[in-house]
Chain A
Amino acid sequence: MSLIDSKPKVGIFNLSSCEGCIVQILNLGDKLLRLFELIEIVDSRVLGIKKDYDYLDLAIIEGCVMSEEEKEKLVEIRNRSKVLIALGDCAVSANKNFMKDIVNSPVEAKSLRQIVKVDYEIPGCPINSDEFYDKVIEIVMGKKVIDRSITVCSECILFENDCLLDKGLTCLGPITRGGCNALCPSNGRPCFGCRGLSDDANIDALIKAFEERGIPVPLYLSALNLIKSLKDNERRMRNE
């Protein structure tokens, strides 16, 4: 999609979410004004914009699906949109990457992909504002959007942080998709895996690393193996 000739029409929506990822869009500040020179927001409840439109060039959706109405809303938006972005971990994984309520979740939450086709994902809980900005520009300009598949760990090493595993902490950095500049380890906290599994995540190796250091292995780690195999499957299907 190259949309430079006319300003692409963009809608920003939220389903069940905390709106933190939309706040991260507001947090772009000046950069947001630059973005508004390139795109036209035609629908956003949070911004109070509701223009008439037949279709959207780009739908940006935050949040997961928790009710029949939200499902209908999502399908309706998908039908009217050329490109759809899942914004933040709620939209990407129904916040399961972050919440880890993988096994016995008392609530039934669905990610966007479980209901409609998703063209791009912006991971994280919350998203990284700059990554959002770059990706939207790339999409709008018709450039190839490159998903970083490096891990949080590889970024952490670049920053020369002391490794938290050596301090006995449960860091998921080795199996988590990078792109956040190893935000948590750089602030003295173990990675919680909010950006989801990296493509080549080796969960068993991490479990072993925990065991070797006497770090209690969190229960959800083996459940993550399940998520990984689902993800691998999905990717294979997409590439076929």
Chain B
Amino acid sequence: MSERSISLSIKEISRIEGHLNVDVVVDENGDVKAYAKALEGTRIVENVLVGNDYWEAIEIASRMCGVCHAIHKLTATQAMENAFNVIVPEDAAMFRDIICIAGHIQSHLTHLYYFALPDFYGKNNILELLNEKKELVLKIIKLRQLTVDVIKRIGGSPVHPITPVVGGLSKEFNKSDVKFITEKFREMRGLVMEVAETMLGLDLPNFSRKTQYVALRDNKSIPLLRGDINLLDVRDYSSDEFLNAIQKILEKYSNAPHFLLNSESYMVGALSRLNINYPYLISEAKDICKRYNIKFPNYNPFVNNFAQALEIIHYTYEALDILENLASRNHYKHKTNFKVKKGMGISASEAPRGLLIHKYSVDENGRVVEANIITPTAQNLKNLERDCVAYFKLISNEPPDVIEKKIEMLVRSYDPCISCASRFRKL
């Protein structure tokens, strides 16, 4: 008998970015397999980037994703800067860090509270939650709005920020900008604890499967834009070494590529970041971990939700530190001049959903001749499949609709972003 029975097929999982189907299949021998099928059309491909001027390519790369646009823009910009050997002025880099942090927090808020939270209250969406938990929902909306205000002020546009350019920023900022942003982050500081704690107080499914965890590391912070690539408990890689170490798999059933490291699946994202960088989590967030008995390293993929909530607190405080530093300076150098030259540049960063790599080769006129972008969701797909299999086995005695809901929750806790992941499959 070669007939397979599809045990579970979840179509167009809601409240995630982009279109994803997940099938869990049990064959006649009782073997369980899972398939993460990214469905997005290949709207933008690396081929589109090729032939464009470096700055146009950055704009296009940013359009891969409307949720993690800020990090795509910043990573592409850094990669080009590496190609041209540009050192960005310190002030400009700090403003860019603020844009990055605001984008990071905003993305987490969207995922945790608009997408994931309704699950835990047995609701289908945040609007249903509005009736019951009005005060909380209004605080979440307020918090999210503050991040929008920040990106608008220094990024120009709240989606696809305009100001980050090769060499720094296109606009000069002054003390009143810093004051404005500081006020926004102070207001956020007043809200983040409570909002994060609603997430941290939830009961997560008891499930754990140790895998390979990969994130940036700099041995002093939980870095987003700089650092080596670390494989937990094993080794550091330079971006170049890492690109050589991973293996890209094109699965027939998925529009997004899948990836392996050392022939095994691996996980990127907030959970990996904290598994690797927990010592550098700010003490306010560590105290909460103690209170709720959350430990890192942690092998439960659902804890990714907690890790994101902790990051919301962490990065709010970190932004205030950066702003304090900026406030102590009198004026800000926003840009450095540079010459376009032939070269190759790589940049690795932490998108809200995990490790992101942009690599470009440009010719002497600054035109892109080769582009390679590795998105976090694509890197996570294989690990997601393996978790689906393990978790399915654990809950296979429960009623089918419960299994479906739980698998869907597992998928959502990865915070997949199919928009990004599928964009870059070569035609």
- Closest B residue by C-beta to A99: B60
B350 at the interface (CB under 8 A from A): no
Given contacts A29-B144, A192-B59, contact A24 B158 (CB under 8 A): yes
Which of A17, A29, A99, A184 interacts with B141 by CB under 8 Å? Answer: A29
Range, interface on chain A:
35 or more
The answer to whether B159 touches A66, judged by C-beta atoms less than 8 angstroms apart, is no
A96-129 vs B, Cβ < 8 Å mask (1 yes, 0 no): 0011110001110100000000000000011001
- Closest A residue by C-beta to B12: A45
The answer to whether A107 touches B162, judged by C-beta atoms less than 8 angstroms apart, is no
- Closest A residue by C-beta to B155: A187
Range, interface on chain B:
35 or more
- Minimum CB–CB distance for A220 against chain B, Å: 10
The answer to whether A18 touches B64, judged by C-beta atoms less than 8 angstroms apart, is yes
Interface of chain B, main secondary structure: loop
A19 at the interface (CB under 8 A from B): yes
CA of A64 to CA of B44, assembled, Å: 11
- Give chain B residues whose Cβ lies under 8 Å from the Cβ of A47: 15, 114, 125-127
- Give chain B residues whose Cβ lies under 8 Å from the Cβ of A46: 14-15, 17
A189 at the interface (CB under 8 A from B): yes
Of residues 144 through 200 on chain A, the ones whose CB sits less than 8 Å from some CB of chain B are: 183-184, 186-189, 192
The answer to whether A48 touches B118, judged by C-beta atoms less than 8 angstroms apart, is yes
CA of A24 to CA of B145, assembled, Å: 11
- Give chain B residues whose Cβ lies under 8 Å from the Cβ of A95: 43, 63
The answer to whether A107 touches B43, judged by C-beta atoms less than 8 angstroms apart, is yes
CA of A49 to CA of B45, assembled, Å: 30
A143 at the interface (CB under 8 A from B): no
Give the tally of cross-chain contacts (CB within 8 A).
Answer: 138
B231 at the interface (CB under 8 A from A): no
- Give chain B residues whose Cβ lies under 8 Å from the Cβ of A188: 163, 170-172
- Minimum CB–CB distance for B371 against chain A, Å: 13
Of residues 13 through 66 on chain B, the ones whose CB sits less than 8 Å from some CB of chain A are: 14-15, 17-19, 40-45, 47-48, 56, 59-60, 63-66
- Give chain A residues whose Cβ lies under 8 Å from the Cβ of B45: 106-107
Which of B12, B41, B419 interacts with A19 by CB under 8 Å? Answer: B419
* Interface residues, chain A, with chain B CB atoms under 8 Å away: 15-24, 26-27, 29-30, 32-33, 36, 41, 45-50, 63-64, 66-67, 70, 90, 95, 98-101, 105-107, 109, 125-126, 129, 183-184, 186-189, 192
B386 at the interface (CB under 8 A from A): no
- Give chain A residues whose Cβ lies under 8 Å from the Cβ of B12: 45
B134-170 vs A, Cβ < 8 Å mask (1 yes, 0 no): 0000000110110010000000111110110100001
The answer to whether A50 touches B43, judged by C-beta atoms less than 8 angstroms apart, is no
The answer to whether B127 touches A107, judged by C-beta atoms less than 8 angstroms apart, is no
- Give chain A residues whose Cβ lies under 8 Å from the Cβ of B427: 106-107
B115 at the interface (CB under 8 A from A): yes
The answer to whether A67 touches B66, judged by C-beta atoms less than 8 angstroms apart, is no
- Top 3 nearest A-B pairs (CB, nearest first) are A20-B66, A66-B41, A188-B170
Given contacts A16-B40, A107-B48, A187-B171, contact A30 B145 (CB under 8 A): yes
The answer to whether B144 touches A17, judged by C-beta atoms less than 8 angstroms apart, is no
B238 at the interface (CB under 8 A from A): no
